[in-house]
Structures are given as structure tokens and as C-alpha cells.
Amino acid sequence: MMQVDALITTVHTDARSVASSLAPDNLKGMTTTADANRVTTVIHGTQIRSIIASVDDYLMNLAIADETTTLPQIRQEPNETREG
């Protein structure tokens, strides 16, 4: 059997929170770690279609995790008043 591996590394403001959010959804053969501002996920498998499907699901979860962890950091600008 052929071994197929996927490596995904992304940069985040709060990498630990993103990795913690992703880890519960990891399937067998997946590991997610955080180091400094990087999240790294490795996906091991024997079928390319399964790896592609796992990467697709992972990227959707990653987008949500990143958005969720950055929302509290977004500051709203105060309303500016115009003199007329």
C-alpha cells in the first residue's frame, strides 16, 4: 500500500487557540500542533481521496477556528461625528 501524507502549516495571531479548536475534529491519522504563531497539521493515510476529503474538511474547520479566535480582538472604531 502507498502511504500518503499531507502537511498543512498556517500562521495565526493565537495559534494555540486555533490548534485547540481543531484538535477535537482530528480523525485517526491526524495530528495538530501549535508552535509560536504557527499551526501544523499532518494527515497520514493510504488513499489519496480520503486525504483530499480530510484536507477539505480541515480547511473549512480552520477558517472557522481562525475567525472565532480573532473576533474578540477586533476593535470597533467609535462613531465619528461630522460637523455640518
Domain of 54, CATH number, reads 3.30.310.50
pLDDT in tens, 20-54: 999 998 889 999 999 999 999 999 999 999 999 99
pLDDT in tens, 54-68: 999 999 999 999 988
pLDDT at 19: 96
Please check whether residue 10 lies inside any domain of the structure. yes
Q: How far is CA 30 from the centre of its chain?
A: 13
Report pTM: 0.77
Please check whether residue 83 lies inside any domain of the structure. no
Q: How far apart, in whole angstroms, are the C-alpha atoms of residue 4 and residue 6?
A: 7
Q: What is the DSSP string of 12-37?
A: -TTHHHHHHHHGGGPPTTEEEEEETT
pLDDT at 1: 78
Please check whether residue 30 lies inside any domain of the structure. yes
Structural domain harbouring 36:
4-69
Q: Which residues contact 22 (CB under 8 A, 6 or more apart)?
A: 32, 39, 41, 58, 61, 62, 65
